[in-house]
Amino acid sequence: MGLPVIASQHCGEVVEHGANGLLLPEVTASAIADAISWMLANPSLLPVMSQEAVERSIQFRPEVVLKKLETCMNDAACTAST
């Protein structure tokens, strides 16, 4: 949606803390409130974070992920047959 993300530290490589969103130290109401408060206190950073979120999301589109999986499977098949 083109917005900075607030996510768990266990979200994989999708969110880069401070670049396209914030990673929570723990998933609690307090941590979420702190992240929202930080975003409200730093509105000038949000457009850049939003743009980074859009750019980063391209790497996780289904067609991109499937191509990477196919490459990994082919590489594994080649390695296993030699």
C-alpha distances in Å from residue 73, one per residue of 9, 64, 70, 77, 81: 28, 14, 5, 6, 12
> Would you say how long the chain is, in residues?
82
80 has pLDDT over 70? no
pLDDT tens per residue, range 26-72: 999 999 999 999 999 999 999 999 999 999 888 888 998 899 889 88
Contact by Cβ (8 Å): 7, 14 = yes
Q: Is the pTM of this model over 0.75?
A: no
What residues have CB less than 8 Å from 17, skipping those under 6 apart? Answer: 23
Residue 26 φ/ψ, nearest 5 degrees:
-155, 155
